[in-house]
Amino acid sequence: MSLLQSIRAVTAAAVLVLSASLAQAFTIQEVKSPGGITAWLVSEKAIPLIAMNFSFKDGSANDPAGKDGLSTFLTGTMDEGSGDMLSKEFQQKRDALAFRMSFDAGKDYFEGGFQTLSKNRAESFELLRQAITSPRFDPEPLERVRQQFLLNVRDKAEDPQSMASSQFMNMVLPGDPYARKDDGTEASIAAVTADDLRAVHKRIFARDTLQVAVVGDIDAAELGPLLDRIFGGLPATSVRPALPPVTPQHGPALKITERNMPQSVIVFGHEGIKRDDPDFIPAYIMSEILGGGGFKARLAEEIRERRGLTYGVGMGLSPMDRTGLYTGFLQTKNESAGEAVKLVRDVMTAMAKDGPTQAELDEAKTYLTGNYALRFTSNGAIAGQLLGLQQQNLGIDYVTRRNSLVDAVTLEQVKTQAARLLHPDRLIVSVVGKPQGLN
């Protein structure tokens, strides 16, 4: 069996062990390294696998004007050589050790994910350290990565859903960095230089915004020095610019981008709330009843099941660091676009006026509490969840408190959030296609 097959087999076994651990309320420890780096740890010695997820509070929204997609470009270069090691040698060693490393640039966070077999952890974490602290940005791999991102940008420029989403963001947050394309444009990607990448790396990678979650075959005594070894060489403080809060635009507003296609892609929404809102939990339950995807949500029941106008429709809260949105999506035949959008408004109006029923609330609670364990089905999944809790400042005990918070929500609280958050008269609608009945 190859090392890659081994890591897949170990990962499959980890799903079973850690699912059982969740049922027993696994222990999350806060670990502080000798150098002062903090991480959350779930130590699970039964499976010889370690997963580490980490992030820096910086993302595509902080890319300089005219350099859209720079943070995303950086994600594609992190395994293209480091220190004295050229790209080919780095990737050959990575493959020999069978570790997994990935990076992602969101609007507010730059995240990394890493998994290794325990027996290879010393060498694997050393390569991670090099990738984080001393990426090379050599000309040949830089141009290869550029071509990959240019293809992606061109594909998205012709993708109706991407077009509708981008258009919606420019309508609801015009001129704000959140409305920029995370992947950049052909012009901005074509202009990226090695110096640009060095500058964005320096901007993002600093210890003061670092958050880390580790799950697997390692204990607190072992993890502390390892954190210093991996991240200790980074600058102490970041140089990211501070961006002000932003207020979404109010609708109603409609923009149609015509494309010769049989269906219309429709993105709709308006202002929402941030994750630190004190009423987020009842607001979240309300949004699940209205437009969630896990059970009989009202939008799906009315537009898909009863009318047969779409294969899928949903609407949910989209909290970000500087603001929050409440967004939805559907796709329907051009001739039924007007009817579908009218139904969205009608369902929102009814929910805002009367709220859900007690039966709907009970069903939502049962689904949300029962489904929570499915977020913790592997080392990597648990590490990702713990990292998200850190980013949202929810506390190390949130995993054990979360279902009780959902269960405690009353019907009156959910009705209050429906009246507060649903504004069909302010709906901003972005459409790609040849819709009929919209004006």
Instruction: Note whether 70 and 58 are within 8 A (CB).
Output: no
In 106-262, which ranges are E strands? 110-117, 210-216, 253-258
Residues with Cβ within 8 Å of residue 193, at least 6 apart in sequence:
none
Q: Closest Cα to residue 210, out of 244, 190, 233, 192? A: 233
- Omega of the bond leading into 64 within 30 degrees of 0 (cis): no
The CA radius of gyration of the chain, in Å to the nearest whole number, is: 23
In this prediction, residue 293 carries a pLDDT of 77
Q: Is the dihedral of CA 408, 413, 415, 419 positive or negative?
A: negative
Percent of the chain with pLDDT over 90: 89
Does domain 253-372+393-433 fall into CATH 3.40.50.880?
no
Residue with tokens 């992947």: 183
What gap in Å lies between CA 100 and CA 9, rounded to an integer?
14
CATH 3.30.830.10 boundaries in the chain: 3-231, 253-372+393-433
In this prediction, residue 241 carries a pLDDT of 81
Measured in residues, the chain has a length of 439
CA torsion 331-336-339-340 (nearest 10°) is: -10
In this prediction, residue 326 carries a pLDDT of 98
What are the tens digits of pLDDT across the range 67-126? 999 999 999 999 999 999 999 999 999 999 999 999 999 999 999 999 999 999 999 999
Residues with Cβ within 8 Å of residue 333, at least 6 apart in sequence:
262, 263, 264, 309
What are the tens digits of pLDDT across the range 139-148? 999 999 999 9
In this prediction, residue 295 carries a pLDDT of 65
Answer left, alpha or beta for residue 25, where phi above 0 means left and psi between -120 and 50 means alpha.
left
Pairing of strands 38-43, 210-216: parallel
Pairing of strands 313-319, 324-333: antiparallel
H-helix segments, 178-335: 186-190, 194-204, 220-231, 280-291, 298-299
Q: Enumerate residue ranges in the chain where pLDDT < 70.
A: 1-25, 295
Q: Please state which architecture CATH assigns to domain 3-231.
A: 2-Layer Sandwich (3.30)
H-helix segments, 292-397: 298-299, 337-354, 358-371, 379-391
What gap in Å lies between CA 329 and CA 432, rounded to an integer?
12
Q: What is the reported pTM?
A: 0.90
Structure tokens at 286: 């309300």
CA distances from 399 to 20, 28, 77, 125, 386 (A): 15, 9, 34, 28, 9
What gap in Å lies between CA 34 and CA 36, rounded to an integer?
6
